[in-house]
Amino acid sequence: MAEKITPRNVDYSRWYTDVILQAKLADYSPVKGAMVIRPNGYAIWEMIQQNLDRMFKETGHVNAYFPLLIPESFMKKEAEHVEGFSPECAVVTIGGGQELEEPLYIRPTSETIIWSMYKKWIMSYRDLPILINQWANVLRWELRTRLFLRTSEFLWQEGHTAHATYEEAEQETMLILNLYKKFVEEYLAIPVIAGRKSDAEKFAGALHTYSIEAMMQDKKALQAGTSHNLGQNFAKAFDVKFQDQQGQLQYVWATSWGVSTRLIGALIMTHGDDNGVVIPPRVAQRQIVIVPIWRGEEEKKQVLDYADAVKKELTKEFTVILDDREQYKPGYKFAEWELQGIPLRLEIGPRDVAKNGLVMVRRDLLKKEFIARDGVLQTVRATLDLMQKEMLERARKFQEDNTHQVDDYNQFKKTIEEEGGFINSHWCGSAECEAKIKEDTKATIRNIPFDRKAEKGKCIICGKESEGRVIFAKAY
């Protein structure tokens, strides 16, 4: 609390780190590339887990747990996959004091180990579909840490489903992408654009990858979730066939999909301000803090009795902190809870008690508003609902205001350099043009939006025909 947060306009990257460390969301660990998720940060992850897990189960998915360690030979069974992941793996070579015959990789993702099991479990069409999800830690070697966004180890969920047909797998891939979009927008209040990844940006081993892309306050893009149609690649690599209704043996169709603790980074960078993090009400474990204000014993008793009653009423629906610590002044408490992002603050002093009311301050607006004591539960409920809605709207407006339609490559380079944000431009579909833009500007194709207009145009690089615009941006 003694330290100051670097303002966003001074250094966005330092602001991000300052907020995380000071709000005690996470900390650097003594192990290179690894972070510690502290209770304030983990509470957000628990809310993400709780809500996503419910949504997965409502759509017929179940959870399971597969081993952390994957034999090297498994990694090598799918050619693109091993090429994509092997270089960033941590490898166990000693176990129980002995050199191992075969090195074991800490999972960077679990397709290989899971499909080795599906081979045991899938015989006939009756065994399909399998709709399994796993909550787990994974590891991809990384030395330049950025808290929540880039660390060696991170937490995520990874869904791995098995289907009888391409169509079913494709349906599942889309179902999950839409579920992600709904969750990220309705809970995290982060607007996203759903679309298909270009081949260059797809998952190592996938037929195609869909993603949702968000815009951070520094106008860079952040990939918030991905869903892959893996085709029959892993079924072929692990020889997983099923007998169809006609008695024919066929390879199984696969999907995989995931979101990670990176979403916490997205939340911070979308909603945070120079006072700290701002947690959307629906993913705040503690939604309300009451700060009582008094001088002397008589006021104290009066104010605390009143505050207790308010707390009791609100506790019917919300988790409420009554910050009655004596050693800190109200201003100090305001700053502390703002830093931590508690959505709503209620201030109660003797004058509020006299007027049978209290002062309410929304974390995103930081404006004081006097409200009546009567109906406080209804007022608070409506305010939190409105706050949730307005946070999403504000972020959506920011995204729209910083999305540019550009048809000239010089203008494109100038916009990326000077403005940043999303650029909607025509692209012919070739990997060469995509690579040139990345080389020239560091911008990549975030995705090809599902809801883009069908609009003939010319590729911004080569001038060849294009079917519509794609999103370019610099990304985290």
Choose which of 459, 470, 471, 473 interacts with Zn ion (CB under 5 A): 459
Choose which of 19, 122, 155, 471 interacts with a second copy (CB under 8 A): 155
User: C-beta of 429: minimal distance to Zn ion in Å?
Assistant: 7
Q: Which residue has the tokens 């499909």?
A: 115
Which part of the chain contacts a second copy (CB under 8 A), choosing from 89-97, 198-206, 342-350, 400-408?
89-97
Q: Which residue has the tokens 């960078």?
A: 269
* Cα-trace Rg, the chain: 25
Choose which of 72, 462, 467, 476 interacts with Zn ion (CB under 5 A): 462
Which part of the chain contacts a second copy (CB under 8 A), choosing from 99-107, 164-172, 241-249, 448-456?
99-107
CA neighbor of 265 nearest in space, from 452, 417, 418, 41: 41
| Residue number with CB closer to a second copy (80 or 142) | 142
Choose which of 1, 2, 58, 97 interacts with a second copy (CB under 8 A): 97
Asked if the peptide bond before residue 129 counts as cis, ω within 30 degrees of 0, the response is: yes
| Contact partner, 459, from a second copy, Zn ion, none, Cβ < 5-8 Å per class | Zn ion
> Which burial class, exposed, middle or buried, applies to 69 when counting CB atoms under 10 A from its CB (0-12, 13-18, 19+)?
middle
| Residue number with CB closer to a second copy (244 or 274) | 244
Residue 139 in contact with a second copy, rule: CB under 8 A:
yes
Distance CA 210, CA 231 (A): 13
| Residue number with CB closer to a second copy (1 or 454) | 1
CA neighbor of 348 nearest in space, from 302, 291, 305, 429: 291
Residue 475 in contact with a second copy, rule: CB under 8 A:
no
Residue 104 in contact with Zn ion, rule: CB under 5 A:
no
Residue 335 in contact with Zn ion, rule: CB under 5 A:
no
| Residue number with CB closer to a second copy (106 or 194) | 106
Number of Cβ within a 10 Å radius of residue 385: 12
Residue 405 in contact with a second copy, rule: CB under 8 A:
no
| Residue number with CB closer to a second copy (90 or 174) | 90
Helix (H) or strand (E) holding 470: strand 469-473
Residue 36 in contact with a second copy, rule: CB under 8 A:
yes
Distance CA 105, CA 89 (A): 6
| Contact partner, 103, from Zn ion, a second copy, none, Cβ < 5-8 Å per class | a second copy
CA neighbor of 269 nearest in space, from 376, 145, 366, 395: 395
User: C-beta of 150: minimal distance to a second copy in Å?
Assistant: 13
> Which burial class, exposed, middle or buried, applies to 36 when counting CB atoms under 10 A from its CB (0-12, 13-18, 19+)?
middle
Number of residues interacting with a second copy: please give it, by CB under 8 A.
54
436, 409 contact by CB (below 8 A) = no
Question: Residues 393-432: x/- map of binding to Zn ion (CB under 5 A)?
Answer: -----------------------------------x-x--
Determine if residue 68 is left, alpha or beta; phi over 0 gives left, psi from -120 to 50 gives alpha, anything else beta: alpha
User: C-beta of 239: minimal distance to a second copy in Å?
Assistant: 13
Distance CA 476, CA 474 (A): 7
Q: Give the angle 161-164-165 at the CA atoms, nearest 5°.
A: 100
| Residue number with CB closer to a second copy (108 or 350) | 108
Which part of the chain contacts a second copy (CB under 8 A), choosing from 27-35, 297-305, 406-414, 460-468?
27-35
CA neighbor of 264 nearest in space, from 112, 417, 156: 156
Given the rule CB under 8 A, which residues bind a second copy? 27, 29-31, 34-39, 42-43, 45-46, 62-71, 74, 87-97, 103-104, 106, 113, 116-117, 120-121, 132, 136-137, 139, 141-143, 152-153, 155
